[in-house]
Structure 1
Amino acid sequence: MGRTTMAQLDWWPSSPTLTVGLVAAAVMALAQAPVPFVDDDRLLTTVVVVAFFAATCALAADVWAPRRVAVAAGVVVAGTLALEFVGHTTGWPFGAYDYTPALVPQIGGVPVVVPLAWWAMAVPAREVAARLAGPGWARVALGAVALTAWDLMLDPQMVESGYWVWEADGPWQGIPLSNYAGWLVSSAVVMVVLDRLLPLPGSSRPLLVLYVWWGISEALAFIVFFGDPLVGVVGGAAMLGLGALAWRGDRHIPRRTTTYGSRG
């Protein structure tokens, strides 16, 4: 009997990009696990974000041509880096905040992992929106809401870890509501960019799973380990509610059969 290759196994991903994406997602999840148990999680945070970025890139490359994904990632990362630079130097559009020196390297006072994280979650959030609405402003708005829902848990965690600070206290765990208004507007711009650079040919369940995973893992961390169940319940309900609706909406989206843009 001949040897069975990985490609011959029914459960093994047949696409190399999908395989890379799943491996990167596994690394991300493994790096997340010890975070609640260590006093200094700077290295783990960096590993989580880099693996998350790699997972999103690879899973996106299973849907769109790698060249399209590289261009889109470059535009979103550069754009959100500029956004965060303006944000922490002027207070617009999020409110007055600043980064601490904890996360390195930094460009213009902005930790490099921050724009990487914008891209990493923006594509899964757009996947959520794409399953709930057709092309147009409804999809842009839903994508912005899905991306902003993540920050209901992300911002409290990062502030508690000492990665950035707000000048004034706000009603959501010390974070001003202006932050979330800024996130909604900024996320909507990112969704418009993604719609232009990564036109939707169909669905990508792994990207949706990535979004749902973050909702589950962050909610559990806050409820069980961080001692802040309110953040976990509200943030988890927002992300997982959208994720559940998107999962049900999967049947309304045509399946992808080829990598979009492979000849473009």
Structure 2
Amino acid sequence: MPLVVAALAVVTLAFMTWYAVKVLGWKPALAMIGSGLAIAYVLEEIGVHTGLIFGRYYFTALMGPKLDVIPIAVFSGWVTLLYIAWVITNLLIDGSPIPTRHTPGLIVLRAVVGALVVTTFDLNYDPIAVENGWWVWLDGGSYFGVPVHNYVGWFFVAFVSYLVHGYQLRRKQVLSLEVASKGVRRLSIVPVVLYGISGLTFILVNSGGQLGLISFYVFGIPFLVAAWKWGVWYKNLSTTTRLSAGSR
């Protein structure tokens, strides 16, 4: 089972990397994925060894192979989640799967909103992980056995990652989805679908308890708004493309 967990995380990350290359172009995509892996791994290392970022915890053998004390599945999963939440955030703020403007103020705003989207994911994920023995909090915690300190850490890691991504994209030439193929434009819905599936899974797994209700709100509302905005974006883009083709 631990090997399956690691393999699944790596395969999912590989798929998300392929997706990012298709949507952003290979240079911006690899810069985002590479920096995301580095930030997630380094801050997890600091977190486990010092307890400063998330609190005092350790990963069990159920999480699979590790690089030092950090399971491969953990920092691979971090980057996959960061990218999915990044697309959701872009739709909420820009109404587009990728950012349309890169002012310093918008970069910070996206970092804040994106970090909140990522952190709300862990409101469900961490209690399930603790219940199943994937990692252990040495001092326990007031939120289903998880310390509040952990959620501050999640916000911090995501915020730093999104700030770095924002300034990376500001410097690099990102492909416009307006000139992308219809297949690539349709592909941009994938992170929204994955986000929705994650939320639905949490709701079903915890349908009889408080976490199920929490899932409904923290996943349901952002998902519905992001999905609606993607639909508006895709419809407007398709209309613009047809009009441009007709004028030629």
Retained in 1: the 8 A contact 2:5–2:64?
no
Cα pair distance change 1:47/1:157, threshold 3 Å: farther
Q: In 1, Cα distance between the equivalents of 2:58 and 2:146? A: 13
1:54 maps to amino acid: A
Q: 2:192 is matched with which residue?
A: 208
Q: 1:217 is matched with which residue?
A: 201
Q: Secondary structure at the match of 2:58?
A: strand
Retained in 2: the 8 A contact 1:69–1:198?
no
Counterpart of 1:246 (choices 183, 205, 226) is: 226
Q: 2:10 is matched with which residue?
A: 50
- Quote how far apart the aligned CAs of 1:217 are: 1.7
Higher helix share: 2
Q: Secondary structure at the match of 2:30?
A: helix
Counterpart of 1:156 (choices 127, 147, 170) is: 127
- After superposition, the C-alpha distances for 1:82-105 in whole angstroms (9 at most, x for unaligned) are 111100110111111111233231
What count of residue pairs does the alignment treat as equivalent?
213
Cα pair distance change 1:65/1:89, threshold 3 Å: same
Counterpart of 2:64 (choices 80, 104, 109) is: 104
- The gaps in structure 2 that reach 5 residues or longer are 95-105, 178-184, 241-248
- Quote how far apart the aligned CAs of 1:110 are: 0.6
2:17 maps to amino acid: C
Q: In 2, Cα distance between the equivalents of 1:177 and 1:108? A: 26
Q: In 2, Cα distance between the equivalents of 1:193 and 1:212? A: 26
Q: Structure 1 residue 176 and structure 2 residue 136: aligned? A: no
Retained in 1: the 8 A contact 2:57–2:135?
yes
Taking only the aligned residue pairs, the percentage that are identical comes to 26
Q: In 1, Cα distance between the equivalents of 2:135 and 2:168? A: 31
Cα pair distance change 1:255/1:122, threshold 3 Å: farther
Q: Secondary structure at the match of 2:63?
A: coil
Counterpart of 1:128 (choices 75, 88, 91) is: 88
Q: In 2, Cα distance between the equivalents of 1:179 and 1:160? A: 16
- Quote how far apart the aligned CAs of 1:43 are: 4.1
- The gaps in structure 1 that reach 5 residues or longer are 1-40, 258-264
Q: 1:185 is matched with which residue?
A: 156
Q: In 1, Cα distance between the equivalents of 2:215 and 2:107? A: 26
1:207 maps to amino acid: P
- Quote how far apart the aligned CAs of 1:121 are: 0.8
Retained in 2: the 8 A contact 1:103–1:163?
yes
Task: Provide TM-score, normalisation by structure 1.
Answer: 0.73
Retained in 1: the 8 A contact 2:2–2:61?
no
Q: How well do the aligned residues superpose, as a CA RMSD in angstroms?
A: 2.4
Q: In 2, Cα distance between the equivalents of 1:255 and 1:206? A: 17
Cα pair distance change 1:208/1:157, threshold 3 Å: same
Q: In 2, Cα distance between the equivalents of 1:49 and 1:236? A: 25
1:185 maps to amino acid: F
Q: 1:138 is matched with which residue?
A: 109
Q: In 2, Cα distance between the equivalents of 1:175 and 1:131? A: 30
Q: 2:217 is matched with which residue?
A: 237
- After superposition, the C-alpha distances for 1:38-70 in whole angstroms (9 at most, x for unaligned) are xxx534433432232123212212211123322
Q: In 1, Cα distance between the equivalents of 2:164 and 2:126? A: 24
Retained in 2: the 8 A contact 1:49–1:113?
yes
Task: Provide TM-score, normalisation by structure 2.
Answer: 0.77
